[in-house]
Chain A
Amino acid sequence: NAGVMQNPRHLVRRRGQEARLRCSPMKGHSHVYWYRQLPEEGLKFMVYLQKENIIDESGMPKERFSAEFPKEGPSILRIQQVVRGDSAAYFCASSPLGTGNEKLFFGSGTQLSVL
């Protein structure tokens, strides 16, 4: 049973480019969460999605960031016009229906570096 899969592991972008981070949840999990870890800080909640629905995006920056979890395929975190401050580790987690924070499984993260 594969765990939460994130790709790419490392992503390098120049300022102004777009970054797309992918997350495939564990089999049978219908809830996806994205967290961001800035240097020297703990993981911070960004967004919570179910299939085709954004449930809570209270942790997402208001501009340039968007997330989706389509009916088919992985969840995508998209960052437009990246800036150096977007450099961070982005973690995805998934959980089964209705378990909240009790059964979260995390991926290994995507390290985004903005030059």
Chain B
Amino acid sequence: GAGVSQSPRYKVAKRGQDVALRCDPISGHVSLFWYQQALGQGPEFLTYFQNEAQLDKSGLPSDRFFAERPEGSVSTLKIQRTQQEDSAVYLCASSLDRGTGGNTIYFGEGSWLTVV
């Protein structure tokens, strides 16, 4: 597709459930990012991939969060045993090259997660 595609767009999970959020980056983009945006806040960095390698996962809030990009294209963000504080919009973004400062990063529309 022309842009970054995320699914599902909306997800309601019961506390304790596992969820998986999918991201299809722009074709050929080397870099892929996940951000978390809580209500009324700016996005916060979660993790960064360069092709299939996860180079930075310093923003993942706990070991319940796991991300993968096994073939260097599609990525999945998995949240185990969801908690109410996980409720947020999860944004995926991609960049053509190695994502160094000043390069354009393209965002998807986000996956809205509500944990009840």
A complexed with B: no
Binding site for B on A (CB under 8 A): none
Residues of B whose CB lies within 8 Å of any CB of A are: none
